[in-house]
């Protein structure tokens, strides 16, 4: 049972538009606009996804939730503290290789 919880710590999520996701599949990697503007791609833990959707994606869509296996990432991932939200969020400091994305889910809002 302990091994399962360790593995679950490496699963993170990223919300993007369906158009950006389709573009990534054509390119062979995923880059969010924030990688160029902030130096990393914003991600979430499972418990943070609903809040991220509400704060940043309300009224936008269609959206896709990407499930990412942190162990498969080629780029560095770390959890950084958000002062405004008083929480740590996972950030990816580089492109996301597509084989690290283990699931995609079209979200309806």
Q: What is the pLDDT of residues 63-96, one digit of tens each?
A: 999 999 999 999 999 999 999 999 999 999 999 9
Range of the domain at 44: 2-107
**Per-residue pLDDT at 40:** 96
Q: Give residue 9's pLDDT band: very low, low, confident or very high (50, 70, 90).
A: low
- Do residues 60 and 19 make contact, with C-beta atoms less than 8 angstroms apart? no
Q: How many angstroms separate the CA atoms of 81 and 71, rounded?
A: 21
CATH number for the domain harbouring residue 87: 3.20.170.20
Which token pair is 65? 């939730």
Neighbouring-strand partners of residue 16: 64
pTM to 2 decimals? 0.88
Altogether, the residues listed in the chain come to a count of 109
pLDDT tens per residue, range 13-53:
999 999 999 999 999 999 999 999 999 999 999 999 999 99
Q: How many angstroms separate the CA atoms of 31 and 92, rounded?
A: 10
Domains in the chain, number: 1
Question: Which of 13, 15, 12 is closest to 32 using CA atoms?
Answer: 15
């Amino acid at each position: 049972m302990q091994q399962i919880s360790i593995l679950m710590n490496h699963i993170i999520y990223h919300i993007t538009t369906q158009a950006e996701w389709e573009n990534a599949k054509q390119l062979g990697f995923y880059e969010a606009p924030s990688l160029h503007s902030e130096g990393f791609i914003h991600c979430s833990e499972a418990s943070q996804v609903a809040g991220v959707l509400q704060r940043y994606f309300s009224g936008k869509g269609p959206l896709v939730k990407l499930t990412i296996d942190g162990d498969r990432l080629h780029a560095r991932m770390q959890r950084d503290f958000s002062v405004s939200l008083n929480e740590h969020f996972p950030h990816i400091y580089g492109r996301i290789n597509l084989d690290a994305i283990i699931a995609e889910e079209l979200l309806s809002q």
